Chains A and B, each alone.
Chain A
Amino acid sequence: MNANNPASLEQSVPVATTKNLQLIAAAALGLIILFGVGFAPMDIMHNAAHDTRHSVAFPCH
């Protein structure tokens, strides 16, 4: 009897789901960072990233 089979069968379904979940998590992290650098309304954040915001043509000021 192969003891590994049930375990690999159990895992075969979640792999696709967990792949998509991880991709969504990575994209969400990207969006959060992008918001912080490019869109956060706080003056301090704006001033620190000012030249970057202008250079990549984010709406500024």
Chain B
Amino acid sequence: MYFRQIFLISCLSALAASFCFSLYQWYLVNPLIFAAELYEQATPPGSNVIEPAQPWSPGDGIERSVYTLLANFLMSLAYSLLLTSAMVFRGSSSSLKGLAWGMAAYISAFIAPGLGLPPEIPGMDVADLAQRQNWWLLTVSLTGAGLAILAFSPRYYKGAGFILLLLPHLIGAPVSAVHGFSHPDPEAIAMLTKLWHQFILQTSIANALLWFIIGISTGFLCHKFIDTVTPLGVRG
């Protein structure tokens, strides 16, 4: 019964969060991605390299938007499932507790990995994908564990929480040999850098909004549909 409740709560929360996130993304984030893609697709002058066959991708316009909406919902659902499971494991919930969980998750899943690997726009030269994914996973896991230790463990162990928070940054994020943009035109690089800075700001706000809604709504719904019902499903 916990699984069913958690799944339903996560679906409701993900619907609300992905709706608001998608609206924000549509107006303030996607235009930056599309603008950067124009530079990415521009072939350098003088190059006549034959491009390999491209794999399927959604057509621009409505098709691409629908896939993004779907991906936003699934990503919100995954985040909600993880947050709700952790919150229910720790005991009773409330909107306020949910907000605290949501902000801790925002720090773990966005701020901490973003310190080493800032959000990227298309067209950037970046380090090897597998290395970046490994560092991202390591950072998110260690930051989450570190914050959990700081919040829940006895004072004696809290130092370990700080060490876990710092560890991924001491190891260091993978960096590319050529960092930034390799576009041949300096004006394009200036434009891309401007777009990139806007992109970092807008994604930071969009993800804060996402976690704010996931945190508050899962906290509220867990309190309403899990805390007030006894484990055997008998109303107390």
Contact = CB atoms under 8 A, between A and B. Distances in A.
Nearest to A11: B232
Nearest to A18: B2
Contacts, number: 140
Contacts of A48: 57-58, 67, 70-71
Contacts of A61: 120, 122, 126, 129
A34 B88 contact: no
A25 to B, nearest CB: 5
A19 B2 contact: yes
Contacts of A38: 75
Given A26-B85, A30-B85, A49 B71 contact: yes
A51 B64 contact: yes
Residue with the greatest number of chain B CB neighbours at <10 A, chosen from A24, A52, A55, A56: A55
B67 A54 contact: no
Contact of B77 (A19, A24, A33, A43): A33
B75 A29 contact: no
Interface string A21-61: 01111110111111011110001100111111111111111
Chain B CB within 10 Å — which of A37, A48, A56 has the most? A56
Interface in B44-80: 55-58, 64, 67-68, 70-72, 74-75, 77-80
A11 B1 CA distance: 14
Contacts of B80: 30
Given A38-B75, A57-B110, 13 more contacts: A23-B85, A26-B2, A26-B85, A29-B81, A33-B78, A39-B133, A48-B67, A54-B33, A54-B121, A56-B75, A56-B109, A56-B210, A57-B119
